[in-house]
Amino acid sequence: MLTGNLLWVLVGAILLGIAAGLNGTFAFLQKQSLVGDAAAHAALPGIAIAYLIFQQKDLPILMLGAAITSALAVYMIQWIVGHSKLKADAAIGFVLSVFFGIGIVLLTIVNQTGAGNQSGLNDFIFGKAATMAKSDLVWLSSSALLIILMCLLFFKEWKLMIFDPVFAKGIGLPVERLRVLLTALTVLTIVTGIQAVGIILMSAMLIIPAAAARFWSNHLGIILVTSAFFGALSGALGTIVSSFRTGLSTGPIIVLCAASLFLISYFFAPTRGLISKSLKKKAFKQRNVAKEATNHE
């Protein structure tokens, strides 16, 4: 089953998982995970428009279209929050559904045009990593490598910017530009992953590995490595499992893998997992009871 192409697919999925795990951790700590979800859904109209204009499904062209509408959606969310009484959750819900609705309408139009129904654009909704062409995988891999590199370079700056933006600005960090850069990379991560993972579930690759990794450590460096590992593992497993059966989409399998890792972390992680926490609580109580007993003697 592990043919030459599937090997390429696996490498791509692992790199994508690492990139999403790293970038997702920053977005998660910034409490911007849902913005990623909106950005992912907003990629759909961009893909359809790019296809309608250029009448071809070369990945770079579709990625460009996706990036434009994704970035536009993020900008709109920020604009709505900044210029109205709407809170972020309402703005995100609004933008996500409007962009996705437009995307579905456009996709229907694409599917009704001559070559449209063979265009394979439908695969972008749930993702199909196993059928990706090698040239597309080269795009995916180089884009993922770029994201990984940026996350390593700006680790220190993003850490401070997210933890204490006021202080960051005070010592002269270009906080606004750093924030835009992080958002742009989130959009790039999404755009990179949509063909393999699909629009609807792409945000899971940003959120779940990061959320799972948080249970394992209180140290950002370790959380990033753990999240990257979880992302890579779910990416790889999702790709392999979905290649076993035609018609099985990659996105849902990746989400199931990531969710399993999350559940394991939630219960069994030694630092912040549920079991370890309740054991610590119990030990604390027992210590106190013992103390009180000696006090009463």
Partner 1 sequence: MNALQVKNLSVAYEEKVVLKNVNLAIPVGRLTGIIGPNGAGKSTLIKAILNQLPNKSGAVHILERPLNSKDHTVGYVPQRNAVDWDFPTNALDVVLMGRYGHIGMIKKPSTKDKQIAMDCLKNVGMETFADRSIGQLSGGQQQRVFLARALAQEAEVYFMDEPFVGVDAATERTIIAILKDLKAKGKSVFVVHHDLQTASDYFDWMILLNQTITASGPTELTFTEDNLQEAYGGKLFFMDQAKSNKTFN
- Collapsed DSSP state (helix, strand, coil) of residue 80: helix
The CB-of-222 to partner 1 minimum distance in angstroms stands at: 8
Q: Which of 91, 144, 185, 223 binds partner 1 (CB under 8 A)?
A: 223
Closer residue to partner 1 in complex, CB, 133/220: 220
Token code pair at residue 266: 């939630």
Q: Which stretch binds partner 1 (CB under 8 A): 54-62, 85-93, 95-103, 155-163?
A: 155-163
Contacting residue, 54, 79, 167, 267, with partner 1 by CB under 8 A: 167
Residue 264 DSSP class: H
Separation of CA 63 from chain center: 16
Residue 163 makes contact with partner 1 by CB under 8 A: yes
Q: Is 102 in the site for partner 1 (CB under 8 A)?
A: no
Please give the Cα distance from 246 to 249 (Å, whole number). Answer: 8
**What is the separation, in whole angstroms, between the first and last Cα of the chain?**
72
Contact status, residue 233 vs residue 17, Cβ threshold 8 Å: yes
Taking CB under 8 A as the binding criterion, the range among 70-78, 151-159, 197-205, 280-288 that sits at the site for partner 1 is 151-159
Looking at 169, 184, 241, 259, which residue binds partner 1 (CB under 8 A)? 169
By CB under 8 A, residue 166 contacts partner 1: yes
Q: Which residue stretch of 41-49, 53-61, 75-83, 162-170 sits at the interface with partner 1 (rule: CB under 8 A)?
A: 162-170
Asked if 284 interacts with partner 1 (CB under 8 A), we say no
When the beta carbons of 94 and 155 are compared against partner 1, the nearer one is 155
Does position 220 interact with partner 1 (CB under 8 A)? The reply is yes
Dihedral in degrees, nearest 10, Cα atoms 251, 257, 261, 262: 40
Q: Name the percent of the chain in helix, strand, coil, to the closest 5.
A: 80, 0, 20
Footprint of partner 1 on 9-38 (CB under 8 A) = 29
If one asks whether residue 86 binds partner 1 (CB under 8 A), the answer comes out as no
Return contacts of 276-280, CB within 8 angstroms, 24+ apart: none
* Sheet strands (E) in the chain: none
- Contact string (CB under 8 A) for partner 1, positions 170-189, x = contact: xxxx----------------
Compute the distance between CA of residue 73 and CA of residue 163 in angstroms, rounded to an integer.
Answer: 25
Contact flag: residue 162 with partner 1 (CB under 8 A)? yes
Give the gyration radius of the chain's Cα atoms.
21
What does the binding site for partner 1 look like in residue numbers (CB under 8 A)? 29, 153-154, 156-157, 159-160, 162-164, 166-173, 214, 217-220, 223
